[in-house]
Structure formats: structure tokens, C-alpha cells
Amino acid sequence: MTPGWHAEHTPDKPAIVLASSGEVVTYAELEDRSVRFARALRARGLDVGDHIAIVLENHRAFLEVTWAAQRSGLHYTAVNRHLRPSEVQYVLDDCGAVAIVSSEELAEVVSGLDTSRLRARISVGGELPGFERYDDVMAAESSEPLADECEGREMLYSSGTTGRPKGVRKPLPATPLGDPSAPPVMIAQGLLATGAAEGAVYLSPAPLYHAAPLVFSMSWQRLGATVVVMENFDPAACLQAIQRYRVTHGQFVPTMFVRMLRLPKEQREGYDVSSLRTVVHAAAPCPIAVKRQMIDWWGPIIHEYYSGTEDIGTSFITPQEWLEHPGSVGRPMNECHIVGADGEEAPVGEEGIIYFAGGRPFEYHNDPAKTASISNEKGWRTLGDVGRLDADGYLYLTDRAAHMIISGGVNIYPQEAENVLAGHPDVADVAVIGVPDEEMGEAVKAVVQLSDPAMASDEVAAALIAWCRGELASYKCPRTVDFVDELPRDPSGKLYKRLLREKYWEGHDSRI
């Protein structure tokens, strides 16, 4: 299961399509370019087990480069292109990269980096001082595959929403390219098992530097699908891409659902989305009201999974199951335990930290203490999420333990209020956090982005608080509301709560 097989049998089939520009890379071209670039990296001293960093926008070359690394037995780290130079430098140094691929578009970031120790510095789409040009590098190489092609592995970094990002390092397969025992091949086999069909067109609307967009895009290409990559997410452009390219499969995050639902009804209903067969969402909890609206719109084709880059445990739920268990993220696919504050397993229906037994091996790169910290004495591992299991074995997420608010000694998980407020028709985005309070320690505050920022007022704030109290106990609801033009999210929809909290906790002692 490699692009090479499809290059041989369907050479002219599009492997990559850039949604806005319409630029196409065929399977023959993907095979040729990834082979040539793999040879170029080997010629510059990169061998099996070495590490390459990719600092790129969603560019045609992104998947060409990752496939070159994948077939060369390399670790490859796709770096968030929105990071500051000092943050990118930290990732470069921490992962031990010996090569970097970037672009002229990111010159402002790259020019501030110390790349003197790297063996290879390569720029796609334009000139960068001290960098070789991508097309020139490939043109000098043969299109004959390396004799020792073997499976590499991504090593991606956490988002850094609560501190320094950490590299999630998984064992390098180093098995022959396409070997069915390699985890990347097994992911593609899993897609086949869940109904991936011939003629699939997969939409990747998120940045490729994130785990799911990158891994799933490459997995679909192992199956010969056309991968449509959005350069940047825009709700109307997303619907247009689905219609234009007759997209059959896609993966989204809840923020994208919200943004599409907030389009004027006549606009969003003007797009033909009938080609969609299966949609998956993950990465963040989806408010029940939002998912119901999406199922009403797109039909019962929206599946959900819960997992993490660490891959210690996974749950999955079909739309039919979700309609019977609204709010659930499905039945765990490996052994799952809910552990209470006393360290003991909690009874059915009670909340606690979610632990998994089994899962794939990994380590936090250069941080054995953090690696050890996620395991308990039974060897179960956790991502730090809080949840519960119902009597039927379905898992429900409450929130991350790190986001918990302690007000007057009471534990409050802000996701509950966020889910309620996200269902208000005037709310485009919302975050609920704890802020300093002399009497209670922390008070619950909602930071809201309105669909129409001009509506911001004390009256609207009061109405939002009342809306929340109509669904939840008052102690779980915000006491105050602040309005912002935009919440600090990365392009994949992940919220940087740390940045919000810093504003309110400056000059105060914060427990996080």
C-alpha cells in the first residue's frame, strides 16, 4: 500500500489537489518527486533514523516531502507555521533535526533561525538565503527508488496550549515500504475496514502540520484516493470545495462545523454536498446542539473518534450510535478505566480521569519524567482528560483536568458551559475560564466572540448568562462575560486557553 502502486496502475489520477488554486499533482508525479527528494536527502547525509523538520504552509510540496521522508526511513516533524522564530528554534533543537524544508512565504520566520548545524536547508516555491531550491535539488537526482526504502514515521509536537510543546516520539518501523506490519500501513488498512471505497475524494481542510490531517491524508493516498487540500480554512470555500471536487470523505473539527453553520442559511444551503459519504470529526469536544444541526444538514454520515497524537487509546462512534447516546465519543476500542480522585476505579456513571490500558508505545522526546507521569501504578496511561462511562460502555468527555476551575472548593469543568453557550444563535465562538476572585479563589468567566461584534453590550452578556442558567446549575455558569473580536485558536480550531488565562492572571498566583 504505497503511492507507487497507484503511480504504476493509475499514473494520471490526481493524488493532490489544492482546493483554491486547483493545482494538481498526479500519482505519477507524487511518486517521481518523492523518490527524487528521498535521494536528495540521502545524498546530503540523511540516513535511516535521522530527522527532518518541515516548516511549510499547505503547499503542493508538503505531501511530496513527507512521502520522501516516509520512504527513506526518517523521522519527520511538521512544525506549526504560526509559531514565532524562537518557538520554531526550540522544536528544531529539541527534535534534533538535521534538515529543514521551508518556503519563501515563511521567510520572516525562517530568517530568524539558526540553521548552521543542519546538513540540508531547502526552500520550495522561491528563494531563501542559504537554502537550496527544491526544484533544483530534485532535478539533479534520479527517479530510481532507493535500494533500501523503508517506512519512516512522523514525530509531531503537542500544540503547547499549556506550556512548551513536547515531541511525541513513536518507534520507527524501518520495515520495507508498504509492509503491512508498519503502523502507518495499518491505519490505511483500518480505513479500508471502515468502508473506504474506490473513487474516494478526501478533503483535508486543516493545516497539514497537525497529526490527523497529515496522517489521514497520507493514509488515503496509500489507498489511491484524491486528497483535496485547503490552503486555508474558510467556511464558504470549504462548501465550495465539496461541491467542486465532489468530495466523498472528510475530516473536520467542531469549530469548522460552527463556522459553516453560522453562514447565512440561504448561502450554505446553496451548495451541493450530496457527494459526501462519510465525515469524521475529532480533536475537540463537539457541542450536542452543533452536531445535531450538522446531522440534520448533512445526514447521518458524521462519525466521531476520540484519541490523541500519543495513540494510547481510541474510541469511535457512528452517527446512528450517537443519536442514541448524544454527547458520547463512543465505545473505547481498547481497555478503558475511569479513575477517581482516590486513585481507585470509579463506578459506572461517575466522573474521573480517563485511563487506557494497552495502546501503542511512545515517549515524550527528551522528557522521561513527563512520559512516566502519564502512567499509574497499574501501567494504565492517560491524556489528562476527564470523563465517564455509561452502563452500555459508552465514553463521555467532561473536560481536560488542566482546564478545571476550582471556585469555593467546588470543581467546575468549563466545557459544560461552553457547550451550552455555543448553542446560542448569537455566539460564534466561546471559551470559559477561571479568573481571580478574592472570595472564591476563581470565578467562572465566559469570553465570547459574537456573530456580530457590534451587538456586544451588558444586556447581551446578561442574556447569555441567563441562557446558560436555563440549562445548568448556576455555579457552573459564568458570573461575567467579556467580548472579543476573535478567540486565540490555531487554524485547526485548537483553543489556546493559556493565552486567555494569562491576560486575567497577570499579577496573581495561578495554579496553572
10, 159, 8, 162: which is closest to 79 by C-alpha? 159
pLDDT for 83 equals 83
The CATH number that applies at residue 130 is: 3.40.50.980
pLDDT for 289 equals 87
Domain that holds residue 27: 3-221
Q: 255 near 226, Cβ under 8 Å? A: no
**Alpha carbon distance 244, 222 (integer Å):** 23
The CATH number that applies at residue 454 is: 3.30.300.30
For 310-330, the DSSP string reads T-S--EEE-HHHHHHSTTEEE
**Alpha carbon distance 115, 392 (integer Å):** 54
Q: 223 near 187, Cβ under 8 Å? A: no
pLDDT for 492 equals 64
295, 320, 312, 302: which is closest to 394 by C-alpha? 320
Q: Which of 190, 221, 252 is the last residue of a domain?
A: 221
**Alpha carbon distance 464, 426 (integer Å):** 9
Q: Is 337 part of a structural domain of the chain? A: no
Q: Which of 204, 221, 238 is the last residue of a domain?
A: 221
pLDDT for 453 equals 93
Q: Is 260 part of a structural domain of the chain? A: no
Q: Is 347 part of a structural domain of the chain? A: no
pLDDT for 509 equals 57
Q: Which of 196, 221, 246 is the last residue of a domain?
A: 221
Average pLDDT across each block of 10 residues of the chain; the chain has 512 residues. List them in order: 92 98 97 98 97 97 98 96 88 96 95 94 93 96 95 86 77 92 88 79 95 95 97 96 98 90 93 96 85 97 93 95 96 96 93 92 93 94 93 91 79 88 93 87 93 95 96 90 91 77 77 44
pLDDT for 295 equals 98
pLDDT for 254 equals 86
Q: Is 57 part of a structural domain of the chain? A: yes
3-state secondary structure 330-353: EEECCCEEEECCCCCECCCCCCEE
Q: Residue 353 is placed in which grid cell?
A: 480521569
Confidence (pTM): 0.85
Q: Is 13 part of a structural domain of the chain? A: yes
Q: Is 489 part of a structural domain of the chain? A: yes
CB atoms within 10 A of CB 358: 13
Provide the terminal-to-terminal Cα distance of the chain, rounded to the nearest Å: 45
Distance, CA of 182 to chain centre: 22
Structurally, the chain folds into a number of domains equal to 2
| Beta pairing, strands 226-229 & 14-18 | parallel
Q: Is 144 part of a structural domain of the chain? A: yes
Q: Is 445 part of a structural domain of the chain? A: yes
Q: 457 near 426, Cβ under 8 Å? A: no
What is the H or E stretch that residue 244 is in? helix 235-245
